[in-house]
Structures are given as structure tokens and as C-alpha cells.
Amino acid sequence: MGLYNIVTAPVACRVCGLVSARDLQLHYGAKGMHHYQVGDRLQWGATSGPHEGDPDAPRVWCPCYAETPCPGCGDDDDRPGFALVIEEGVISAVFQAPPGSHYPQTPEWTVLAAAERPIAAADEPEVPDLPAIPATDPAVELQAALCAILGITDHDDKAGSAIKPTRTRILDTVARMRTRLEILTATDPTNTDLRASIDEHIRAGQNIYAVKTIREQLACSISEAVEILNDRFLILRQLRSDD
């Protein structure tokens, strides 16, 4: 296997739905085992050096693999199960994306194919008994965005350290979240109520930062945060099923 990069991000397991921090294998950017998180800018080597992709591509959908198993059900399927969104060279979001997931084919987006087979709208998922979670489910986005707002990674839990997000990262995350919501609402009008719920949580995240100016006061263990986010996930899935 060649060199690849790692992106650590909170994602929902496509088998059991548990949200947890997972290491995702990324074949894009300069090769060399760089370790990224959502909000980080990709590194690129010299034009003659080893790298994959186009550093000038404005928006990219990139399928990726889970490098670490789900801590809930132990799923460690090495097929592409997630997708990264790279905007202006920055990793802006991570989605659950089973094989066969469809991505918008527009001039503004570069759609990368998985190694085993291309991504196409007509493809059927290879795993027929997946939970009914769309590839770009707003509930999954909400959890990823909230984790990014809080700056949560598995390293925080292991080290027991305080979480220290920066104001710029928080505001950038919220801005990218709103962009994702605009796309979702435009393509699926039934997401209106769900969007209102997500907007409420975004405002709450902004208010927390505004009131608690000492960043260390935002400290929260990842186990507590994941429990809270999973509760929100179940509520939002129920809202979606009631539409």
C-alpha cells in the first residue's frame, strides 16, 4: 500500500449509527501520513513530489475508508464508507457515504471515484441492510459540526485535557454548516423543520462561546459529548421520520 493521510473526525457508523471519532484513510493531497481534522488545510508537496489530486480544485467530494473500527459494533469494513468535502483546500465536512452514494455532478465540484469502482447515481449500495440514513443526513452533519465547534477529538479524552477551540475555527465551522444546510434545503424541502432544529443548536454553540470567553470552560470529555450528540441524533431522526 502506498502512503496515505489520516483524517480524524466524528462520524456515524453505517451499521449501528453510533457517532464516534474515527481515523479515515485519505488518498488526496501530499502523501506522507499527514494527520488532519475537519477545518485543517491540506498540505501539498512540490509539483514534482508525490501527491494526489489538484491543489487548485475549488470543491471536491472525496470517498475515504475507515482506518479504525467502530467502538460500538466493531464494524471494520475496508470499503469506502465515508466521504470528505474539501473546499478551497480545507477539509470542511465528513459524511457517511456507503458504496454507491451519489454526489452532485456540477462544474463547481470535482467528484473523485473510489478505488474499487466509480460512484454513480444508478449504483445500488453493496450492503443492503444499512440503516436508513441518507448519505448527507443533516443529523450526521449536526453531530460533526457540534464536535468541530467544541473541538472534540479522541486525543482530548485520552489525555483528559481541556478543549480549546479558537473563535476563527468556530465561526468557520458554523459558516460551512450553514452552506451545507442551504444545499440540503434546496434539494429537499422536507428538511425545513430539521433545519430549524439545527439552526437552534448552531446559535446555542455560538452563544456558549460568546458567554464563556475563557476557552477552557468549554472543556468536555468526548464520552459525555458523544452521549449528548447521540441523543440529538435520535431526536432528529425521529423528526425526519415524522415528516
Query: CA neighbours within 13 Å on the CB side: how many for 31?
Result: 12
Tens of pLDDT along the chain (243 residues) come to 456 788 888 877 777 777 788 888 888 887 767 888 888 888 886 544 566 778 888 888 888 888 888 887 777 766 667 888 888 888 888 877 766 666 655 667 777 765 333 333 333 333 333 333 344 444 455 555 555 555 544 444 333 333 444 444 555 555 555 555 555 555 555 556 555 655 565 555 544 444 433 333 333 433 444 455 555 555 555 555 555
66 touches 81 (CB < 8 A)? yes
Rounded Cα distance between 75 and 63, Å, is 18
Q: What is the pLDDT of residue 48?
A: 42
Say if CB 239 and CB 193 are below 8 A apart: yes
Q: What was the pLDDT predicted at 134?
A: 40
CA-derived radius of gyration, the chain:
17
> For residue 148, what pLDDT is reported?
55
Distance CA 114, CA 147 (A): 27
Residue 213 pLDDT:
37
Contact of 146 with 227, CB cutoff 8 Å: no
**How is residue 6 written as a grid cell?**
489520516
Question: Residue 81 has what pLDDT?
Answer: 75
The pLDDT value recorded for residue 129 is 36
C-alpha cell at 206: 455560538
Whether the full predicted model's pTM is greater than 0.85, yes or no, is no
User: Which residue from 157, 195, 158 is spatially nearest to 178, judged by alpha carbons?
Assistant: 195
Q: Take residue 117 and report the three cell numbers written for it.
A: 469502482
